[in-house]
A and B are shown apart, each in its own frame.
Chain A
Amino acid sequence: MKKHLLYFSISVILLAGCRQKGDIYLDPSDPINMSYTTYAGQFDIIWRGMNSYYVFWSEDSTDWNNVYTTMYPKFEALDEAYRIDSIAPDSATLMDLYAEATSTLIDHHLGLQFRDVHTGKNFVYTPGEAEVKRRDYAIGQKYGVAAMTEAISSTINAGLLDRGQWGEMDGNRNFFGTRTLEDGRKVAYLWQNNFNMQESLQKEGSTDAEKNYISNIRNWLDMCLNEPRLAGIILDNRCNKGGQTRDLDLVIGAFLNEPLHYADLRYKEGPGRYDYTEWIPAYVDTTLISNRRDLEAEHIPYIVLTNAYSVSMAETSAVIIKHLPTGRMIGERTFGAHGQLMSYSTIFHDGTFGTSGGKHYVYMSSMQTRFTTEGVLEGIGITPTKTILQEDEGYLGAMTKAIDYIKAY
């Protein structure tokens, strides 16, 4: 029997060696891991950072292992070329390689910023924006604040809005407009190029433009809540780059009777690709506004306008309005950046890593968003109730449709 026990012990010891030792996860924000001096070393640490910190691996079909095995030799080839003749690759080559590595990733908040290890030149690549530019309905279309300013002017000229006021603060613009229909009922219209409403309402504003910016938000809300002859509300989220989700408590919470469970969020709690937390429910709060208005009871439509450059919070608010009892979403399919961002990634092992302006900086979502109504649509965007493309009907198309809808409601 002793012999058997001996065999057993030896076998256990031998077989115990069959457990392989794993690779150690590297912290991609640690200065030690930023001390690389080669293109391949830079790619390696960015790849590892993405491997751990990216929150959409559960949804993303990108074969991330394959990205490493196919791309790493290409970066090594750059190093080899530099070693031979000390000539750094041109900007396009380096950008193309990172584009090839990340082009299929669905996180549309993703922004890669990296510095050429030899020339010190900085590069920025945003795979999400590149994807949106390739969409058939967005090709050749003008988006942005300038295009929107022009569009609103033509909206007024076309008689779709009676009058309005421009505001500007901290580089952001907004426009509050009204329209009195033939029967005397009124339409409240607000466009803004980002969401920072709650923060803005707490400020005073020193210049006229700033005061206008704040009063535009206040006036729009006031009209939505208190105008007795309100025919409809238009929230124009076109060319809106997103912002603070707590503004949902204003633009949605003002019209709810009870808190709305609009999405579930989850972050990462470990360095593994799929080390997710549970889904955490996210609510629109109704306590911020006391004199809330029941649009359904008063039969008032709430319309949100979107286009391909309605980003993040502009999409989140749109998808909620789309599913409100009197809500309607008109325009183009949105950008597709729904993940929420938090600043303290070291707690959650996900989201943005690196140093802004440093050797590498990867900006991305730190929470995966799953809408209660439509699920995870990261990288796809929200499809409107009524699709009106700018390439067909210009900026006026969606606005015309909105006013017609309110008239007929």
Chain B
Amino acid sequence: MLSYIIRRILIAVPVLLGITFITFALVSFAPGDPISSMLLGNEHINPDLVESLRSYYGLDKPWYVQYATYMGNLLRGNLGVSMASRTSIADSVRQFFPNTMLLAFTSMFVALIISIPIGVISATKRNSLFDYGSLTVAMFGVSMPSFWLGLMMMLLFGLRWRILPVYGMGSFDEGMWDVISHLIMPSITLGAAMAALLVRLTRASLLQVLSLEYIRTARAKGLRERIVLYKHALRNSLLPVVTAAGLQFGRLLGGAFIVESIFAWPGMGKYTLYAIGVRDYPVIQTTTLIFAVSFVVVTLIVDILYTFIDPRIRYN
């Protein structure tokens, strides 16, 4: 099993390299370079100064040299300096990244908590009113733009009824409830689409497992339906659901952009959007890289966890 884990990690390495190359290429091969975007409106500046600035940032060297410098910096933990604020990007990332992870994981948790019970009930009461109802709601959930849901929730819970705060994160200094109340709306907004997907998946997976022969054996043995369901069927049917949840983590990261923008959640998404607004290319580059690397790491963890849950994978 250890060999599987090592093999899996080794496979991830070229992917990580590829990611760094693409984020590098994104900025380097794009039309215009960071210096020229900084100079917008200041074209009268002495061209010699511009050239010396270019060589200071290493932008006049060939692309492979630039890429090597970039990789060297990354491996040493130097994430670069923001062009707009002249502060170290690593500091900002250290500040914002945990908030985004908090939001993303809470959303995943919320999605699982909502979707699994509904999916199970839907599957056990197949073709009932509840089933059709939940499938319809799931359909709507998948089709609804998350930003619209967020705005509607903000309208209802924040402005009309005034029971939840509409922006910011709150701080742990003022107690857990402060942070949790700030977390409720963003995480539901972010998790809704995933929950809708997972409801359908749980239902389909459970229905498929319930049709297998060992379930028929369990029922024939005279076991109560509840034990058949929870002890035998559920465990196996949750497998694809949990893996799908892990793999959909990337969607959560992407959705974090939108949700952080609506609810002013101080996370990586909001930081990146701000950087986009001021054309701060190093920040855009680095945050994209970090998002991608987090996703790869989460996928890796899901794959490895999967071997513990389903031993059959190990022997493939």
Check if A and B associate.
Answer: no
